[in-house]
Amino acid sequence: MSRRPAKLLALACFAAGLGIVLSTGQREATAQPKAPAIAPAPQAPTLTTPAFLGAKAGDEVEITLTGTNLADPVGVLLNCPAKVTIPTDNKNGTEPNKLRVKVALDAKAQNGLYAVRVATKHGVSNLRPFVVDSFPVTASAGANRSKESALALAVPGVATGTIANEASDFYKVQAKAGQKLTFEVLARRIGSPLDPIIVLHDAKTKRELVNLYADDTPGLQGDCRLTHTFKEATDVLVEVRDTTYRGGDFTYRLRVGEFAGATTAFPLAAQRGKQATIGFAGPDALPSASVTAPADAGLAAFYVAPANGWPVPVLLTDYPQIAEQEPNDDSAKANKLPVPGGASGRFEKSKDVDHFAIVGKKGQKLAITASTYEVNSPAEVLVRVLDAKGGQLAASNPAAAPNRFEFTPPADGDYVIACEHQNFLHGPNEIYHLSVVPVEPDFALAVAFDRGEAPAGSGTGAFVTLTRLNGFAGPVELSIDGGPALSGKFTVPAGQTLAFVPVLVKDGTTIGPVAFRVKGTASLEGGGAIVRFGTLTDAVKASFGGIPNPPAELLSACALAVTEKPPFGLKFTADPLKFEKGKAAKLVIDATRDKAADGDIAVVPLFNPPTIVPNPKGAVAKGQTKGESALTVQPAAPAGAHQLVFRATTKVGGKDFAIIPPPVLVEVVEPKKTEPKKEEPKKDKK
């Protein structure tokens, strides 16, 4: 099999990216009901700021955020070391489509991709990329679209720009004799649709320099990087364009300087809370660094970077990790790999085959996974399990995403796992991560929407889909992990897969944005607990232009805007207090209103069990404070507590305004048995 074309790599990564979450657990999942679609509240802000937004570490800059509903700002969330303020001069904060923000970055802020959100009195925005860089920034105004009008760029430096349709941007760079310069474009990695290419030209002759171009550099998710040592002092023109000459909102950041380019970290993973020595894979030999891996169970990865270079992720796991040690070209020299455990390997030479020795227990099913595309490596790995005599017992499918298979040892004893490149390639970028873990009951959480709003003393809800793995069917306690301002718990009953967890705001909390995560905890029958955090993969990918492998640390990041008291509110009470199976019931709706919210309040069910069917058109009539929503409780409804969630909408000042109150808990009980009437004794006739 030949290597997959680079242009198809993104598709492979998209599917393979799901394997990162599941590679430490296993994939036998139960079928899932369809999750409800959650839309942002119409009054909430939205950011449309270009993807190249950012600043130099240590600088204080004023940036302009663009979008909708940005008036009445109350705070900004930026997940990097910085002080953020909102100026009040020149009527800033009164315009709905733009907002000026001052950002004072810590001098020790690490290069990398972060996220920014804005909160107003009415809600919190989607996230947008924000880049921290160690180089000074020069902004292109679009006047450098010919070689003759190239914009001078100091070295080291960053240029930000937007590519127009059927056009290129040009920059003029001075190179010294013997200077090794790296030219790197950040586009796809920061959420831009640009598929960039770099071409170098001689500044005097305007001719293209042979072989000095870059496109789809391995490990950069479609971005490009070029490193060249200039023998003589010279001026060069750097051309940046889309590979197919598309344009529009095609933003980018061009980095130029003396820095090394890393493809990935090596080793690729570290155990939570443990000391690790992390180096780099790539075309340059780079020194390793000793780090302490974060212990946070909610983090999927942390980042390391070469000096002034772009950071690369290190996956976080719960089990021991090793780095491949040569020679391990045959079973007799196999590296010992603990179970559960993981290993980072590299195909350094032609026909390299890496061997790892494990101890297997009879009947214990093992999941064996080789990760490559998921960690931005171009390698395709064939994994085989061998017995003591070298006979093959099982093998992977390198074209599968994820590249995972299960193996059950037929007897207690030693086994060898052999890894080889499917395409017989080798080099510094041909790396992989191998994991061997027992197949055990597990679960995964997916959060349907990444933001919400609620006033202090009230709350809302976060919708969660629970995927049960490897036969796990027990209850799961969902909770809100967001500091002292937020709380909320709900236990998902055994067998159930969909739920809303309440997000409750402590009374007296100051208005503004609050970050939170959804945490799930379950106990195992044999002892021990499973802790997982909800992920927002689809929402984060959408915020970053569909990037195949979005920043792992953002996958669990939700946000709540603590708002002013909304112009209307709802409370629900059950009538009767307990719903009998097979009978009709209703929810009584009590509304509070401001004068501006005196219209009809539409109350639409957002989520309910299939056996409890609410009226799809509940409402509180114009000017009224009472309403109701009829319910039909089917005979098959399970007894016990059930969640009902509603979305309420009305007009405020002629504009739509919506709220999602906390979930309503109703109790379903068995129908009351009717006692047969006793016949009165007949009286004797006289």
CATH number at residue 385: 2.60.120.380
Instruction: Establish if 520 belongs to a structural domain.
Output: no
Contacts of 677 (CB under 8 A, 6+ apart): none
| Average pLDDT over every residue of 573-589 | 91
Instruction: Establish if 554 belongs to a structural domain.
Output: no
Domain end point (choices 205, 223, 257)? 257
Q: How far apart are CA 8 and CA 374, in angstroms?
A: 14
Contact 609, 578 (CB under 8 A): no
Q: 193 and 118 share a domain? A: no
Contact 346, 281 (CB under 8 A): yes
Q: Does 69 or 388 have the greater pLDDT score?
A: 69
Give phi and psi for 367, each to the nearest 5. Answer: -100, 125
Question: What distance lies between CA 318 and its chain's CA centroid?
Answer: 19
Q: 151 and 114 share a domain? A: no
At residue 617, does pLDDT exceed 50? yes
Contact 157, 134 (CB under 8 A): no
Highest mean pLDDT among 365-374, 548-557, 670-679 belongs to 365-374
Q: How far apart are CA 430 and CA 426, in angstroms?
A: 6
Q: 359 and 430 share a domain? A: yes
| Average pLDDT over every residue of 236-259 | 96
| Average pLDDT over every residue of 572-578 | 89
Q: 215 and 250 share a domain? A: yes
Q: 147 and 233 share a domain? A: yes
Domain end point (choices 232, 257, 282)? 257
Give phi and psi for 91, each to the nearest 5. Answer: 60, 25
Give the pLDDT band of residue 4 (cuts 50, 70, 90): very low
Give the pLDDT band of residue 614 (cuts 50, 70, 90): confident
DSSP 408-460: --SSSEEEEEEEEETT---STT-EEEEEEEE---EEEEEES-SEEEEETT-EE
Q: 349 and 369 share a domain? A: yes
| Average pLDDT over every residue of 461-470 | 95
User: What counts of helices (H) and strands (E) characterise the chain?
Assistant: 2, 54
pLDDT, tens digit (0-9, with 9 covering 90-100), for 250-301: 999 999 999 988 989 999 999 999 999 999 988 877 889 899 999 999 999 9
pLDDT at 283 (0 to 100): 82
The 8 Å CB, 24+ separation contacts for 276-279 are 276/314, 276/321, 278/304, 278/314
Q: Which two tokens stand for residue 60?
A: 């204080």
The 8 Å CB, 24+ separation contacts for 274-277 are 276/314, 276/321
pLDDT, tens digit (0-9, with 9 covering 90-100), for 506-518: 999 999 999 999 9
Mean model confidence pLDDT for the chain: 91
Give the pLDDT band of residue 551 (cuts 50, 70, 90): confident
Q: What angle do CA 417, 418, 424 make, to 5 degrees?
A: 155
Instruction: Establish if 493 belongs to a structural domain.
Output: no
Q: 159 and 306 share a domain? A: no
Give the pLDDT band of residue 501 (cuts 50, 70, 90): very high
pLDDT at 307 (0 to 100): 86
Domain end point (choices 257, 292, 313)? 257
Q: 390 and 294 share a domain? A: yes
Q: How far apart are CA 467 and CA 462, in angstroms?
A: 16
Q: Does 528 or 502 have the greater pLDDT score?
A: 502
| Percent of the chain residues past pLDDT 90, beyond the cut | 78
Total tally of structural domains belonging to the chain? 4
pLDDT, tens digit (0-9, with 9 covering 90-100), for 295-323: 999 999 999 998 889 999 999 999 999 99
| Average pLDDT over every residue of 151-155 | 97
Q: How far apart are CA 123 and CA 673, in angstroms?
A: 49
Tell me the CA end-to-end span of the chain in Å, nearest whole number.
107
CATH number at residue 580: 2.60.40.10
pLDDT at 85 (0 to 100): 97
Q: Which two tokens stand for residue 279?
A: 């180096």
Q: 76 and 169 share a domain? A: no
Q: How far apart are CA 598 and CA 504, in angstroms?
A: 26
At residue 9, does pLDDT exceed 50? no
Instruction: Establish if 576 belongs to a structural domain.
Output: yes
The owner of tokens 């959060």 is 447
pLDDT, tens digit (0-9, with 9 covering 90-100), for 43-60: 999 999 999 999 999 999
pLDDT at 6 (0 to 100): 37
At residue 7, does pLDDT exceed 70? no
Give phi and psi for 449, each to the nearest 5. Answer: -145, 145
Going by the DSSP 8-state scheme, the letter that residue 34 receives in this structure is P
pLDDT at 62 (0 to 100): 95
Q: 330 and 426 share a domain? A: yes
Q: 121 and 199 share a domain? A: no
Cα dihedral: 171, 177, 179, 182 (round 10): 30
pTM of the predicted model over 0.85: yes
Q: How far apart are CA 29 and CA 541, in angstroms?
A: 23
Instruction: Establish if 485 belongs to a structural domain.
Output: no
Q: How far apart are CA 443 and CA 461, in angstroms?
A: 21
Give the pLDDT band of residue 545 (cuts 50, 70, 90): confident
Q: 252 and 272 share a domain? A: no
| Average pLDDT over every residue of 362-391 | 94
Instruction: Establish if 686 belongs to a structural domain.
Output: no
pLDDT at 457 (0 to 100): 95
pLDDT, tens digit (0-9, with 9 covering 90-100), for 670-685: 998 766 666 666 666 5
Would the CA dihedral through 539, 542, 548, 549 be positive or negative? negative
| Average pLDDT over every residue of 145-168 | 97
Q: Which two tokens stand for residue 308?
A: 């002034």
pLDDT at 280 (0 to 100): 92
Instruction: Establish if 423 belongs to a structural domain.
Output: yes
Would the CA dihedral through 259, 301, 7, 348 be positive or negative? positive
| Percent of the chain residues past pLDDT 70, beyond the cut | 93
Residue 314 belongs to domain spanning: 6-24+263-438
| Average pLDDT over every residue of 469-475 | 93
Instruction: Establish if 558 belongs to a structural domain.
Output: no
At residue 548, does pLDDT exceed 90? no
Q: How far apart are CA 326 and CA 315, in angstroms?
A: 23
Q: How far apart are CA 40 and CA 67, in angstroms?
A: 14
Cα dihedral: 380, 385, 391, 393 (round 10): -110
At residue 635, does pLDDT exceed 80? yes
